[in-house]
Chain A
Amino acid sequence: MDNPNIIEEAPCIAACAINQDARDYVQLIARGRFEEAFQLVRSKNPFPASCGRICTRRCEEACRRSAVDEPIAIAWLKRFLADKDLDLPQEKPPQEYPEKIAIIGAGPAGLSAANDLALMGYQCVIFEELLEPGGMLSVGVPRYRLPRQSLDKDINETLSLGVELRTGVKIGKDLPIDSLFQEGFKAVFVAIGAHRPSRLNIPGEDLPGVIPALELFRKISIGGGVKIGHKVAIIGGGDTALDAARTALRIGAREASLVYRRSLEEMPCEEEGRREAEEEGIKFFLLAAPVEILGKNKVETLKCIRMRLGDPDSSGRRRPIPIPGSEFTLEVDKVLVAIGQSPELDTFSKAGIRITPKDLIGVDEETMATSRPGVFAGGDAVLVGGTLIEAVAHGKRAARAIHSYLRGEKPVMPQRPSPLKDLSPQRLSLIKRTPRERMSTLPVESRLRDFGEVELGYSDQLAVAEARRCLNCGAGAVVDPELCAACLTCVRVCPYDVPEISQEERVAKIGPDCQSCGICVVECPARAITLKDRYEDQGRIALERALQTFSLKDGRPRIITFLCQYDPHCAGLSQVLDEAGENVRAVEVSCVGKIDPLLILKAFEMGVDGVVVAACSPGDCPFQKGHSWAKKRFDHLVVHIAALGMERQRLQWFSPSPREQFLRKLGGMLEELKKLGAVSSHN
C-alpha cells in the first residue's frame, strides 16, 4: 500500500477492510526482515496478535496464489510477527490538540479509534461497562483461539499511547451520554458492539438450562464456574456456535451436538475452526431446526425438524424449508443458543441518534458519523455479523472523521484500492507449485483438557518459507517508458512471458502477472526496468552493509558470499558465515537470478578479495530460470575477470549443499586468497 508506483493493488490488500499491507509485510518476512514487517503491520493495525489468530482472512480468500496451489497463510504470518515479542516500543505521542474525545466501549472498534486518535495527538477516554477491555474478543472469542495474553498485548500497545480507560462504567446507566458533552468531550465514538442475544422464539426457550452462548462465554471469561452437563446441544452455524460447542467440551460436556438449519456449505464460519471442531468430536445435525424445548423443571429434550433447501434468500444463501413430519428429538442437559446478537440501543435512541430498521445505529458508511453532530459509531453496533477487522476499520475511519470534524475540515477518507485481476490462465502452469507451510496444532487429547491455544504458530524458518510463496502481486517490474528502447530483451528473457511490446505503445509493458524474478531488470540493456517493490533492491543494500562490517576490521582476505534466500540449503548459512569470523560476509538475495554482474564487480571495486555465489541446484529455483541466468552471467563474468588479469580463483560458484563441502571449499578459497593477496597492486 501507499506505493505511488502501484495503481492496482494486490487483491490481498484490496480485500482487507483496513487494506493491511499484506503483500509488503509478507515480502519483508520472506527476506527475514521481521522488525520492519511488524512495524508495517502495526502502523495500520492495532490488533496484530488478535487478527493474526481470529481474523476472517478476506486477504487469503482473495490471494492470487490460490489459483496456483494454496493461498499464502497471511494471517499466520501476522501472528508469527506479533508473537515474536519484538522489542519495538512505541513512543507516547505528544498532545497536539486540546479536544478530548469520549469513546464508548473498549472493544476493537473503540480501541482502534482511540489508538489512531492518540497517535494524532488527541486525548481519549474509553468508557467500558465491563471490568476488562477487549469487548467480544475478551468475553466472546474463546481462549483456545485467542489467548488472553495475546489480546492484552494488543490492547496494552494502545493503552501505552496514553489512552485513558475507565472500566465499570455503562454509558446510559451510570453516565448519560449528554453528560459526556457537558464534561467537555468534543466528540463521541459509540462502539458498544452487539451484546443482546437473539431469541429462538420457540416454546420452552425460557426453561432453565437454555442459555445464550454469549452468557456462557462471559461467565467463563470472568472466571465464574459453569455447570454444563453431559449432553449439550448448540443452536446455530456460525463461529459463535462452533466456539460454544468446543467450549462446552472443554468444560466437561461429553457430547456436543450442533444443530444448523442449512448445509455445511452455508455455514457462516471459518473452515479451520470447523475442521478442528470435527476433529474434537463435535456432532453436526445439519439441515435441522429446533421447534420446541421440552422438560419438567429444566431442559430434557430438544425437538427438531428436518429441513430442505429452497431458493436463495436476500442473503444469497438458500432458504431452509421444513419437511413436514420429519421431527426428531435429542436428549440434552443444556441448550446453547448462538444465533446472533444485536446492540442495546435504548440510551442512544433517546439521545437523538438515528436507529435503523434492523436495530443498528445508523451511520454514514464513509465517515461513521451518526445523525447527531459530533457523535460517531462503528463496529458491531452498526453491522450485522461484524468481524474484528471491520470493527478496526470502523474505528480507524471514525478517528479520521473525528479529526476532520474537530478541525472543521472536510473529511478525507482513505481510498479503497481496486484489486488486480486474476493471474491469467496461461501463467499458472509456469509458476512453480509449492504447498503452504502448515503450522503445527495441539494434539486433540490435550486440547480438550483446557483452553490452551490449538494452533501453535510458525517457527522463523517456516514463516520465511511460507512468505516466500508470495507472488508479490502488483509490486513486480515496471518499465520506464523514457528509457525503454523496445529492444525485446525483457520479452525474450522473462520465464513467465509477462512483458509485452505492442506496436501502438512502442515500449515494453510489464503486466500484473510479473513474478518479481528480476531477470529482466538485470538484462535490460537500457536499464529501463526496476522492481516496484520497495523492499527489493537486488542485494545492493545488503552488500553495502556487509562491506561496512568488513571495514570495521582488518581481516584479510575478505570474501563476499551471495546466497539465495529461497534455497532451503542456504537457510541459516548467512548467520553461520557471519559468525564464522571476519573474513566472510553473506549477502542474501531473493534468488541469485536477481544478482547483477555489476554488483559483483562493485564488491571487487570496494575492496573484497573474492566473491562466491552460492546458488540452489537448477531444479530448485522458485523462478524456474533464475538459476540458469545467474550461472550464465557468472560464466560470462569469469571470462571478463580473467581478461582484466584477475586471478580466476577470486570468483567462485559453490553449491551450498552439502554444507560441510561448501564450508570446506570456502575454507580452501580463503587459504588460496591469502596467498594471492589483495586485488590491487598498491598495498
Chain B
Amino acid sequence: MIVARPKSFEDIKRYVGNRKKVAIVGCGGCVTVRPVGGQKQVQELAALLRLWAKKEALTRGSQPLTIEEETILRQCEPEFINSLEGRFKDCEAIISLACGVGVQCLADKFPELEVFPGVDAVFMGATIEPGLYWERCVGCGNCIIGETGGLCPVSRCAKSLLNGPCGGSLGGHCEVSPETPCVWQLIYERMEQRGNLGALDRIMPIKDWSVRPGRLVLEHLRVEKKES
C-alpha cells in the first residue's frame, strides 16, 4: 500500500491562508489503513485549523473559518469521486488527505477549486511493525524479484544495484544509514539458505526502465461506455 506522512502544519496554514471556507477530504484507502488520512485525521485537522483561525483571527482579517469534512471510500476511483458531485459549492479550496493520486483525481473533479495535498505520499511499502513502514516496491514495471530471492533490490538498495552489494555494505547495513538493512546482504543470506548462491553469479542484464507516466490497459477489465 501507499505510505504517506502528514504535511507540516506550516504548509497547511499556508494553503488555507485567508480563506473563509475550505473542505478537507479524507480517503478510506491506503491513507486510512496507514493512518494519516482517514476520517479521524480529517476531524483532527479540521479542529486544529479552526483553532488556528481563531487564534489568528486578527491577522486573517477577522475571517471565521468554516470547514467541510468528508471522507470518501477511495479518492482514486471515478465512481467515488463522482459521489462528491455538487459538493463544496462555496468552498475556496480543498485539502486532500489522500496520496498524490487522490489529490489529482479530486483536482480533476473540481477544476475551479484549488486542491492542496495534506499529506506527502512517500512510497509503496509494508508495515514492519505498527508505526514502522519500509519501502518495498517502486513500480519499476519490470519485476526481477524472482531472481533475487524474493527481495527487491530496485526499491530496497539505495543505489538500486542489480549485481550485488556496493562496497558500503557493512554488518548487514546499507552505507546510507545504519538503520537501513543492506538488501544485498539479505539476498545473499536467503540464497545461501536456499543453497542457490550460484544464481547470484549471473550478471543481471541492464534494466528496461519503464516509460513514465505509466499507462496500463487491461483489456479484459474494460467496460464499454454506453453511447447516449
Contacts and interface: CB of A to CB of B under 8 A. Distances in A.
Interface centre among A523, A527, A602, A679 (most CB of B within 10 A): A527
Contact of B55 (A483, A487, A488, A681): A681
Given A485-B32, A527-B40, A680 B55 contact: yes
Interface string B15-46: 00000000000001100111111111101100
B160 interface: no
Given A605-B50, A679-B54, A525 B130 contact: no
B41 A525 contact: yes
Contacts of A645: 52, 55-56
A681 B58 contact: yes
B35 A527 contact: no
Interface range for B: 20 to 34
B59 interface: yes
Nearest to B54: A680
Given A485-B28, A526-B28, A644-B9, A679 B51 contact: yes
Contacts of B35: 487, 489, 523, 525
Nearest to B36: A525
Nearest to B37: A525
A486 B34 CA distance: 11
B196 interface: no
Query: Which of B44, B48, B50, B71 counts the most chain A CB atoms within 10 A?
Result: B48
B32 to A, nearest CB: 5
Interface string A668-683: 0000000000011110
Interface residues of A, number: 28
Interface in B96-132: 127, 130
A525 B9 contact: no
Contact of A487 (B10, B32, B47, B49): B32
Contact of B13 (A489, A644, A682): A644
A196 interface: no
B6 to A, nearest CB: 10
A417 B121 CA distance: 50
Interface in B71-88: 71
A680 B55 CA distance: 4
Nearest to B45: A640
A493 B54 CA distance: 34
B62 interface: yes
A281 interface: no
A602 B10 contact: no
Interface string A630-671: 000000000010011110000000000000000000000000
B29 to A, nearest CB: 8
B177 interface: no
B44 A598 contact: yes
Contact of A485 (B38, B43, B54, B58): B38
B57 interface: yes
Contact of A597 (B28, B44, B127, B130): B44
A222 interface: no
B39 A601 contact: no
A527 B38 contact: yes
B8 A526 contact: no
Interface in A596-633: 597-598, 601-602, 604-605
A601 B44 contact: yes
A427 interface: no
Contacts of B38: 485, 487, 525-527
Contact of A486 (B33, B37, B56, B71): B33
Contacts of A646: 51, 55
Interface of A: 483, 485-489, 492-493, 523-527, 597-598, 601-602, 604-605, 640, 643-646, 679-682
Given A485-B28, A486-B33, 7 more contacts: A493-B130, A525-B33, A525-B37, A601-B48, A604-B51, A680-B55, A681-B54
18 contacts: A485-B28, A485-B29, A485-B38, A488-B127, A523-B40, A525-B39, A525-B41, A526-B40, A527-B39, A598-B43, A601-B47, A601-B48, A605-B47, A643-B10, A646-B55, A679-B51, A681-B58, A681-B59
